[in-house]
Amino acid sequence: MDKKQAQERITELKNSLHQYGYEYYVLDNPSVPDAEYDEKLQALQQLEEQFPDLITADSPTQRVGGEPLDAFKKVTHSVPMLSLSNAFNETDLRDFARRASQGTSQALSYVCELKIDGLAISLTYENGKLIRGATRGDGTTGEDITSNIKTIRSVPLSIREKRKIEVRGEAFMPHKSFLALNEAKEENGEEPFANPRNAAAGSLRQLDPKIAASRNLDVFLYGVGEWDADPIESHSERLTLLKELGFKTNPEWKKCDTIEEVIEYVNYWTSERPNLSYEIDGIVIKVDDLKTQEDLGYTAKSPRWAIAYKFPAEEAITTLTDIELSVGRTGVVTPTAILEPVRVAGSTVKRASLHNEDLIQAKDIRIGDTVVIKKAGDIIPEVVRVVEEKRTKEQQPFHMPSECPACGTDLVRLEEEVALRCINPNCPAQLQEGLIHFVSRNAMNIDGLGEKVIKQLFQADLIETIADIYRLERNALLQLERMGEKSVDNLLKAIEASKSNSLEKLLFGLGIRFIGAKAAKTLAAHFETMEHLQKATFEDIIAIDEIGEKMADSVVRYFAEEKVTDLLQELNNLGVNMTYTGPKQTTEAINSELTGKTVVLTGKMENFTRNEAKEIVESLGATVTSSVSKKTDIVIAGEDAGSKYDKAEKLGITIWDEQKLQEVVER
């Protein structure tokens, strides 16, 4: 292939990949299976390696590239990014409408949008290419975070509009990403983020773009700064145009003709916000007509044509009755507040994480204190502060122990970690937690071998290592309490069945630091056998898309351990599968009825487990999501399908039963 042919092929691949990425990350409606995207991306990478001078900034291969920065450059916003004044109740909203009406002779309509709790950003495009991403900063001066912005898959690297435009919006961390990030941080002895907003801001201010890429951020765009494109007349028209240009906009916005409709919208989302997959902290209300916005103008700090309604913070007061210590499978000792049960944000809270000793001391939290709690990001129960005026002399300062509560080994604080850690590899708590993780649903998924049974087996000296699970004998199990013949037989069948699991299940179950279920599947699918993965070098592993340096280093270190080699040999001798047997995309799958469809599984099926059905559906080219929406194409319903079935019927979505799925599989 000569250079001209390479240029044409690269352009063709980039256009396809940009379209696929838009469908997947913006529309949530992919038209091709992951395998086809990966195949085209790999082809593009190979061509760019052959012809490096043809690499452009808008290439999908450049989303995570470049060396870490020494510092962020300052950016001056040509059009200031002003903050909004706040409203806290109905009266404030009516006052805003009254003031706006007095400033114009035109009849007013409004646009209501969810106020995303993240980091305000600005994206500038010239000649159809993203040239800069920046933070809001103080409104006049922000920071150039282009390399980190490019790691967000829903941000287009190129658009069809060639004139210079600057769009504005909010970068945020979805709940799922936030929970996974904090779980990993606590497991690694690091300080967790307080809420999704802090997590998003902290991620985008990382000097190493690979770290930002690992955080799975998203964006919604809603406004403009510089705009050399065709003039528009209303904010609602602007939102529509942004979507048409390929930007991700929030679908929940609504045009309201009266302030009464605005208040209805506010009240609806005040109660519905817990059902969103991301955090909002209010509602933004804007006068829709742009000429009227211009007439109303600005105060020194904010526009007169917009206001932000802020949700009231939901907190509760209760008593902290105890502080419980737990030892995780990596040895981190985590303190947890035990609380008098109290209702917060729609659920009863009995426990709240205290994270580490530094936090306890900073807030001066003592057993017996009256405390104020809230859900951080409406997700995680958090102790906000102590009600000191209710404190008596009975409460004493709490200090973390110097020894592991499970094994008595001296606790240590490793360099750059805030958590105390037990470094005894034979600590019973760590061994137990490791076993509990190994048999969990996303790992080996051994039915009947839950946390209580693992602890029972451990205390009876029947298991200590993972391999011991596969040496369990019927007679020994029958001696245990609450272990009847049927229970024992079912458990042994489940253990035997787990030997056939695909490699990624075993890989995740081993509990390698930084390797979650998704990374385990990526590694298993790439190397295909445990033997190949054991022999892989750091360079081999880091070359895999979505596998970062920390993950690659952790894998290499793990397999370098002699005891790991011995364990894997034991498992192999015991008949545990060491090969990837997961679904591989085929030509037949690309042509199936499920290709490119968004599917929701609900109810109980006779011939498939939920995970089996999910893998089959994905192997046939579909994307499986957890909730029914207008974007859902097909709901596959088993027995007792419940509310998802009802919602699908209401929305007119195609519903399949298990027999229909079976027919498609067998074609």
The secondary element (H helix, E strand) that includes residue 342 is: strand 332-344
User: Nearest Cα to 502, choosing from 486, 522, 483, 482?
Assistant: 522
Report d(CA 72, CA 76) in Å as an integer: 13
Is residue 60 within 8 A of residue 14, CB to CB? The reply is yes
Report d(CA 371, CA 365) in Å as an integer: 8
Distance of CA 211 to CAs 44, 68, 341, 542, 557, Å? Answer: 24, 10, 38, 14, 20
Is residue 621 within 8 A of residue 33, CB to CB? The reply is yes
Alpha helices in 363-484 (DSSP H): 428-439, 451-459, 466-469, 474-478
Q: How many H helices and E strands in the chain?
A: 26, 21
Phi, psi of 319 (to 5 degrees): -110, 135
Angle (deg, nearest 10), helices 451-459 and 428-439: 140
Phi, psi of 297 (to 5 degrees): 70, -150
Residue 56: count other Cβ atoms within 10 Å of its Cβ.
14
Would you name the residues annotated as active-site residues?
115
Residue with tokens 């999704």: 196
Report d(CA 552, CA 595) in Å as an integer: 33
Burial of 290 (0-12, 13-18, 19+ CB in 10 A): middle
Secondary structure (3-state) at 565: helix
Alpha helices in 159-258 (DSSP H): 175-187, 196-204, 209-214, 235-244
Residue 371: strand pairing partners: 318, 386
